[in-house]
Structure 1
Amino acid sequence: MSTTGQGTPAQSATADREIVISRVIDAPRELVFEAFTEVRHLSRWWGPEGFTTTTRSFEFRAGGEWDFLMHGPDGTDYTEWITWIEIDPPERIVLLHGESRDDPNAFDSVLTFEADGEATRIEMHTVFPSKEVRDEAVEKYHAIEGGQQTLSSLADYVGELVRNGVED
């Protein structure tokens, strides 16, 4: 944590627009990274509880895009789009996520994958374009709970891979 000259914690210029979610997953970092970056894995765990995902196109490279639909438990379909900005395997991914390529409310996320012994600490640091967009995501779309559930689904999925001896 950084401090100001008076010894008080420095506030990030984007603090009122941020959501940070992290989780320790009991699996090697390379496997957690792979599960987050290969479409054959993503469709098995992506999204909050009760959601499923259908990929329309996927190209995992800097500048590549993931165009997909999330199907809510109530039958509602949500159009989603991600472009990969920066990829540093198996440590970091920077992405832009919105409903479409021209979504003015798209948000930036930095995902870090840190080895923690035999486990992996994953952190999703998201910055929204405004406090209002962040607040709407939290209040209307339950972004914090959804993010926690998504990382829980990832942990369950990767745990299943480890139990089944699939660690590549």
Structure 2
Amino acid sequence: MSIFETSRELAASPAEVFAAFEAPARLARWWGPAGFRNSFDVCEFRPGGAWQFTMHGPDGAKYWNESTFLEIERDRKVVIQHLSAPRFRLTVTLVPKGAATWLAWEQAFEDPAVAEAVRHIVVPANEQNLDRLAAELARDAA
């Protein structure tokens, strides 16, 4: 197993960050790297719930994604199992830090060879994903 980790302090409470995950319309706005948009077919935000969607790349390419929400702890944690290739488990942990939130993002790939092959995409994409989440939180606060 290979793990990619990133973290960030977000200028929002854990409840506000969690709300950006739990509302499908909001999640669709910020999920994925810069330039991508999403079309959700199914988004059952509950433990065991299905999440099926297409990511539309800036070049017009479409990427089908199928996942399951494994664990959800309100305002604390979201664990997602990505079922389509490349397979990984994403654990997002929210920790209060004053009026802000410390978000830890841990993406564990089942196959280390696959992880190494996509490292050049995943590392910057995860940072861009958190950039987009921060922008969504700022949009909601405005």
Please give the TM-score of this superposition, normalised by the length of structure 2: 0.95
Q: State the percentage of identical aligned residues.
A: 32
Q: Which amino acid aligns with 1:144?
A: V
1:143 aligns with 2:126: no
- Count of residue pairs the alignment pairs up: 142
Which 4+ residue blocks in structure 1 deviate beyond 2 angstroms? none
Residue 28 of structure 1 aligns with which residue?
13
> What's the offset of the Cα at 1:82?
1.5
Of the two structures, which has the highest relative contact order with CA contacts closer than 8 Å and spacing of 6 or more? 2
Q: What is the Cα deviation at residue 98 of structure 1?
A: 3.5
The yes-or-no answer on 1:92 pairing with 2:77 is yes
Cα separation, 1, equivalents of 2:111 and 2:32: 23
Residues 51-72 of structure 1: CA distance to partner in whole angstroms, max 9, x if unpaired? Answer: 0000011111111011000000
Instruction: Note the residue ranges of structure 1 that are not aligned, 5 or more in a row.
Output: 1-13, 164-168
Q: Which has the higher strand share?
A: 2
Distance in 2 separating the partners of 1:110 and 1:87: 10
1:162 aligns with 2:141: yes
Partner in structure 1 of residue 42 of structure 2: 57
Instruction: Flag structure 2 segments of 5+ consecutive residues without an equivalent.
Output: none
Alpha-carbon RMSD across the aligned residues, in angstroms, is 1.2
TM-score (norm 1): 0.81
Q: Secondary structure at the match of 1:90?
A: coil
Rg comparison, structure with higher value: 1
- The alignment status of 1:133 with 2:118, answered yes or no, reads no
1:7 matched residue in structure 2: none
